[in-house]
C-alpha cells in the first residue's frame, strides 16, 4: 500500500487523505474540487489556522505578519516565491496577527515577521525576521 497523508485544502479547508506520490500529480480536493497543491501561500483565519496547523501531515509554514509591519510587507513577495519552490513539500500560510490575535497569542509571538513550521499539531521550528526567498526555502528544508 502506498503511504498517504492528511492534506488540508487551501480553498475550503477540508482535510483530504491522499497518497504521497499524488502530491506531484496535481490532485484535486475531494470536497471543492480545486487543486490541493497551489504553490501559493494560503491566508488563514482563527478556524483555518487551527485546522491547517492541527491536522496537516504536510509541514505548514506560517508567516505571522501584520499590515502595519514594513519588514513583513517587504518579505511577502519572497514568501510567495518560497511557496512556489516548496509546493508539494510544505504548505505556506499567512496569519494576520492584527486581525486574528487569538491564533497567535498562545504561541507567544513577540516580534513579526516570525515564521513557524508546524506538522501534525506540533511546532518544529520558528525563526524571526525577514528573509529572502532562498533562505526561507533553505530553512524550511532543513527542519522538515
Ligand atoms: Zn477544498
For residue 29, being part of any structural domain is answered with no
Q: How far is the CA of 62 from the centre of ligand 1 (A)?
A: 19
pTM of the model: 0.96
Residue 2, pLDDT > 90, answer no
Asked if residue 85 is part of any domain, the answer here is yes
Q: Say what the pLDDT of residue 15 is.
A: 97
**130 domain residue, yes or no:** yes
Q: Which distant-in-sequence residues (6+ apart) come within 8 Å of 108 by Cβ?
A: none
Residue 43 lies in a domain: yes
Q: Enumerate the β-bridge partners of residue 44.
A: 95
Structural domain for 54, as ranges: 38-143
Q: Is residue 120 part of a domain?
A: yes
For 114-140, the pLDDT digits (tens) are 999 999 999 999 999 999 999 999 999
pLDDT for the residue numbered 1: 57
Domain count along the chain:
1
In a domain, 113, yes or no: yes
Report the b/e string of 61-74 with b at 16+ CB within 10 A.
bbbbbbeebeebee
Q: What angle do CA 34, 77, 91 make, to 5 degrees?
A: 40
Around ion ligand 1, residues with a beta carbon closer than 5 Å are: 9, 11-12, 14, 29, 31-32
In-domain check, residue 7? no
> Active-site residue numbers?
69, 72
- Ligand 1 center–CA 48 separation, angstroms: 12
Closest CA to 115 of 143, 84, 85: 143
Q: What does the pLDDT look like over 42-98, one tens digit per residue? A: 999 999 999 999 999 999 999 999 999 999 999 999 999 999 999 999 999 999 999
Report yes or no on 21 lying in a domain: no
Distance 111 CA to ligand 1 centre (A): 32
Q: Cβ(63)–Cβ(41) under 8 Å?
A: yes
What is the pLDDT, as a whole number, of residue 42? Answer: 98
CA of 28 to the centre of ligand 1 (A): 8
Q: What is the CATH number of the domain that holds 83?
A: 3.40.30.10
CA 118 to chain centre: 8
Is residue 19's pLDDT more than 60? yes
Amino acid at each position: 500500500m502506498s503511504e498517504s497523508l492528511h492534506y488540508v485544502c487551501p480553498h475550503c479547508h477540508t482535510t483530504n487523505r491522499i497518497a504521497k506520490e499524488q502530491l506531484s500529480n496535481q490532485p484535486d480536493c475531494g470536497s471543492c474540487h480545486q487543486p490541493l497543491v497551489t504553490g501559493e501561500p494560503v491566508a488563514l483565519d482563527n478556524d483555518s489556522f487551527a485546522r491547517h496547523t492541527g491536522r496537516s501531515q504536510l509541514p505548514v509554514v506560517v508567516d505571522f505578519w501584520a499590515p502595519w509591519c514594513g519588514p513583513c510587507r517587504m518579505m511577502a513577495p519572497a514568501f510567495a516565491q518560497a511557496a512556489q519552490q516548496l509546493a508539494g513539500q510544505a504548505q505556506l500560510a499567512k496569519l494576520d496577527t492584527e486581525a486574528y490575535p487569538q491564533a497567535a497569542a498562545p504561541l507567544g509571538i513577540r516580534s513579526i515577521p516570525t515564521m513557524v513550521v508546524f506538522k501534525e499539531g506540533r511546532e518544529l521550528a520558528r525563526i524571526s525576521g525577514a528573509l529572502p526567498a532562498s533562505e526561507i526555502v533553505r530553512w524550511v528544508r532543513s527542519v522538515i
